[in-house]
């Protein structure tokens, strides 16, 4: 529960295990665990239930991760990337920290919305695969299960994104790929450096179908 957060990480093996155990992990590096920044960090930890928060005051752990004091670092396994936030400024409070986590938490499958869009745009991965679908469909849970299983196979290569066709803010994406709602669900793969993309309507999602589509495009 929120009361167990953040977890104290007193040495490098603990910190490494903490990071590798989650898709997204956040560590606050505070020399003084009672500082105002650390207090805001604890408040944010209680507000973001599904992301593990750790706190370390160990000089060895700070140096191992090349982290400055009073810094919060978000580690992502999906593209082996990290984001740092300086907590020294008075302006950085629990609300800003929560937003920082929400903006940058990319998972094996990231749901695209105005907040996560920033992390998606800044991802180091050059290939994005979108599943454009109606989240309210009774088939949605099963589609997601297969899409997620396929995402495991391309970790570090392709960023898998779920795009809910019901969201008004996503209509721009549909028109970009020249898709009508009657053609959904669809898969769209995208190479960010040159906007090269391919779209296919899929009635049934299978891991093999996703693999075939990705491999053809990657070749």
Q: Does one domain contain both 69 and 93?
A: yes
Rounded mean pLDDT of 124-134?
A: 95
Predicted TM-score (pTM) of this structure:
0.83
Compute the Cα dihedral for 135, 136, 137, 141 and give only its sign.
Answer: positive
Confidence band (pLDDT; 50, 70, 90) for 2?
A: very low
Q: Does one domain contain both 87 and 173?
A: no
Q: Does one domain contain both 64 and 128?
A: no
- At 20 the pLDDT is 94
Distances (CA, A) of 217 to 41, 65, 130, 171, 197: 42, 36, 13, 24, 8
**What is the number of domains present in the chain?**
2
> In this model, does residue 169 exceed pLDDT 80?
yes
Orientation of helix 94-104 relative to helix 36-47, angle to 10°: 50
Of the residues 104, 133, 161, which one is the last residue of a structural domain?
A: 104
For 192, the token pair is 């960010």
Confidence band (pLDDT; 50, 70, 90) for 3?
A: low
**Residue-wise pLDDT tens digits, 207-218:** 999 999 999 999
Can you give the residue range of the structural domain that contains 74?
7-104
Q: Does one domain contain both 183 and 115?
A: yes
In a domain, 1, yes or no: no
| Per-chain mean pLDDT for the chain | 93
Of the residues 104, 124, 154, which one is the last residue of a structural domain?
A: 104
Q: Does one domain contain both 51 and 149?
A: no
Q: Does one domain contain both 12 and 100?
A: yes
**Residue-wise pLDDT tens digits, 30-52:** 999 999 999 999 999 999 989 99
């Amino acid at each position: 529960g929120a009361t167990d957060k953040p977890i104290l990480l007193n040495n490098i093996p603990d910190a490494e295990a903490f990071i590798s155990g989650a898709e997204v992990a956040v560590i606050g590096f505070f020399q003084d665990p009672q500082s105002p920044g650390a207090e805001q960090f604890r408040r944010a930890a209680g507000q973001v239930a599904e992301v593990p928060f750790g706190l370390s005051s160990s000089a060895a752990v700070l140096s191992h991760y090349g982290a400055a004091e009073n810094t919060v670092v978000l580690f992502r396994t999906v593209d082996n990337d990290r984001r740092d936030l300086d907590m020294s400024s008075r302006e950085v409070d629990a609300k800003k920290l929560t937003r920082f986590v929400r903006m940058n938490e990319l998972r094996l499958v990231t749901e695209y919305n105005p907040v996560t869009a920033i992390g998606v745009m800044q991802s180091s991965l050059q290939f994005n695969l979108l599943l454009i679908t109606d989240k309210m469909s009774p088939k949605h849970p099963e589609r997601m299960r297969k899409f997620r299983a396929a995402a495991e196979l391309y970790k570090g290569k392709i960023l898998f994104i779920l795009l809910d066709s019901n969201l008004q803010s996503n209509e721009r994406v549909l028109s970009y790929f020249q898709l009508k709602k009657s053609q959904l669900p669809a898969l769209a793969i995208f190479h960010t450096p040159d906007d090269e993309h391919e779209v296919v309507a899929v009635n049934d999602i299978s891991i093999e179908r996703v693999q075939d589509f990705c491999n053809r495009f990657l070749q």
